[in-house]
A and B are shown apart, each in its own frame.
Chain A
Amino acid sequence: MPNDSADAPRRITVQRRGPWLVDGPVEVELEDGTTVSSDRFRVALCTCRRSRRYPWCDTSHRRSAPPAARRPATDTEPPSEARPAPDAGPA
């Protein structure tokens, strides 16, 4: 964040669906009293409680759809294809 200073309030970005985004490093105290930390430059905190890596978001908040709805036929989208749903490797 530009012009941040040590005593500037820490900004948390909230969205209707999906994680809260906060600048790292962060330490999170969980209900059972344990703490976990992340030193990533920005951290995505799970708000949907579905993450398998809670409290970190793992994109489990995403809508899931039956295979047929993966490529809905609307005029803003290209025609569906017979190819398998591609998943690029990570980056």
Chain B
Amino acid sequence: MTHESEGPALPADRGRLSAAVKAYLLDAGPLPSDGDVEAADPYGDDLQLALYLCYELHYRGFAGVDPGLEWDPELLRTRAALEERFLTALRADTPVHETVEGALKELLVEPADGTGVSHYLRDEGEPWQLREYAAHRSLFHLKEQDPQVWVLPRLSGRAKAALAAVTFDEYGGGRPDQVHAKLFADLMTDLGLDTTYGRQVDAGCAEMLAIVNLMSLFGLHRRLRGALVGHFAEVEITSSPASRRLSEAMRRTGAGPAAERYYDEHVEADAVHEQIMRHEVIGGLLEDEPQLADDIVFGIDATEYLEGRLAEHLLSRWRAGESTVYRPLRLVGKRVGEQAEGQVGEQAGEETREDPATAGRSRVLGAV
């Protein structure tokens, strides 16, 4: 077996399932039993991290792990059991609309005085909260569009061409410095966060792991292509107004130009992307495969459901003055709020370090 010498470090385990999957990846133990999978909370830290470990082999892998395990039959069997548990719970818990039109219509109405995470961050978010938010979101934004690309070969005609065009935009339109994942890494630098791929996974909460796992679940299964399209439409449609509020949050706290830039770009880009997702991608897919309507609705509503869980987690803890991360954030450079002229200085050679502000408050303490 050849093991990757480079790559993201394996995150710390969060219970029996994730510990067993991690041990298996390191060729140091058996996979979890079916009973353990059955007994786990489908939205909990342990199951979600175990699933994340399985999926990540399809993206960047892990240092010290055999890349061939991506297609290991035993591991795929465990992954299927974890997915089944997650998907069954989602199907039972997600309130779904009757029609695609009904689901979309609701997303297109802006509440006059919303109470979401972006409203909170715009109005009263403190630098440490913006940092936590960015760390959670980095689990997706540092691979922005990667999970959605899996669906492209499963589409055809109008839907395929339109999603490929949006994808081109997400990947910077051919310019590496404009790739959205890179723009997000620049935002993280402004906030003093370590931008290394995978480094903030230990900080990521179960609710965020569930969101990024949902994308991989929908993306990697052709039978769930309708759900992937619905999911991505939901994200694009709700993005522009939220991005404006997040940009205002970054401006108000003096986070830095790259932090504002990431959200400013998304105000404008996603005002276009949402039009294309609705008219061309959903419209085209329904023309080709009208029987997928229910899956599209499920994708939209399951995304809303998991985003609602994340919002609840973040807002309830922040309002209580508590941290939302699982383990402390990884910081580099100076921290926002301490920056002299809004510039993060030379960071080369600087040690990445735990955030002392969250080290004492993260969930892991006392939980494991």
Complex CA–CA separation, A58 to B310 (angstroms): 25
Closest 4 interchain pairs by CB? A78-B95, A86-B307, A90-B266, A87-B242
Q: Is B14 engaged at the interface, CB distance under 8 Å to the other chain?
A: no
**B114, B173, B270, B304: the one within 8 Å of A67 (CB):** B114
Which among B76-84, B104-112, B124-132 touches the partner chain?
B104-112
**B99, B144, B268: the one within 8 Å of A91 (CB):** B144
Which among B35-43, B163-171, B320-328 touches the partner chain?
B163-171
The total of interchain contacts (Cβ-Cβ below 8 angstroms) comes to 160
Interface SS of B by simple majority: helix
Binding site for B on A (CB under 8 A): 13, 18-19, 21, 39-44, 52-53, 56-59, 62-67, 69-71, 75-79, 81, 83-91
Known: A67-B113, A91-B239. 9 other contacts (CB 8 A): A65-B112, A66-B113, A78-B95, A83-B308, A85-B111, A86-B117, A86-B311, A88-B238, A89-B246
Given contacts A88-B238, A88-B242, A90-B235, contact A64 B115 (CB under 8 A): no
Which among B197-205, B273-281, B352-360 touches the partner chain?
B273-281
Taking each of B115, B272, B279, which has the highest tally of chain A beta carbons within 10 Å of its own beta carbon? B272
Question: B363: shortest Cβ distance to chain A, in Å?
Answer: 20
Inter-subunit contact A39/B173 (CB<8 Å):
yes
Closest to A24 in B: B272
Q: List 29 A-B contacts (CB under 8 A).
A: A19-B271, A21-B275, A39-B173, A41-B169, A57-B271, A57-B272, A58-B244, A59-B270, A62-B110, A64-B110, A64-B112, A65-B112, A69-B109, A79-B95, A81-B95, A84-B117, A84-B315, A85-B111, A86-B116, A86-B311, A87-B307, A87-B311, A88-B211, A88-B235, A89-B141, A91-B144, A91-B170, A91-B235, A91-B236
Question: B172: shortest Cβ distance to chain A, in Å?
Answer: 12
Inter-subunit contact A76/B99 (CB<8 Å):
yes
Given contacts A57-B271, A85-B114, A90-B263, contact A40 B169 (CB under 8 A): yes
Which residues of chain A are near B109, meaning CB under 8 Å?
62-65, 69-70
Binding site for A on B (CB under 8 A): 95-99, 102, 106, 108-118, 137, 140-141, 144-145, 148, 165, 168-170, 173, 180, 211, 232, 234-236, 238-244, 246, 262-263, 266-276, 279, 301, 303-304, 307-312, 315
Inter-subunit contact B241/A87 (CB<8 Å):
yes
Complex CA–CA separation, A70 to B279 (angstroms): 23
Which residues of chain A are near B308, meaning CB under 8 Å?
81, 83-84, 86
Given contacts A56-B268, A88-B238, A90-B266, contact A77 B111 (CB under 8 A): no
Which residues of chain B are near A89, meaning CB under 8 Å?
137, 140-141, 235, 239, 242, 246
Interface SS of A by simple majority: loop
Complex CA–CA separation, A76 to B104 (angstroms): 12
Which residues of chain A are near B269, meaning CB under 8 Å?
40, 90
Question: A12: shortest Cβ distance to chain B, in Å?
Answer: 13
Inter-subunit contact B301/A78 (CB<8 Å):
yes
Complex CA–CA separation, A91 to B263 (angstroms): 10
Complex CA–CA separation, A86 to B273 (angstroms): 19
Complex CA–CA separation, A19 to B12 (angstroms): 47
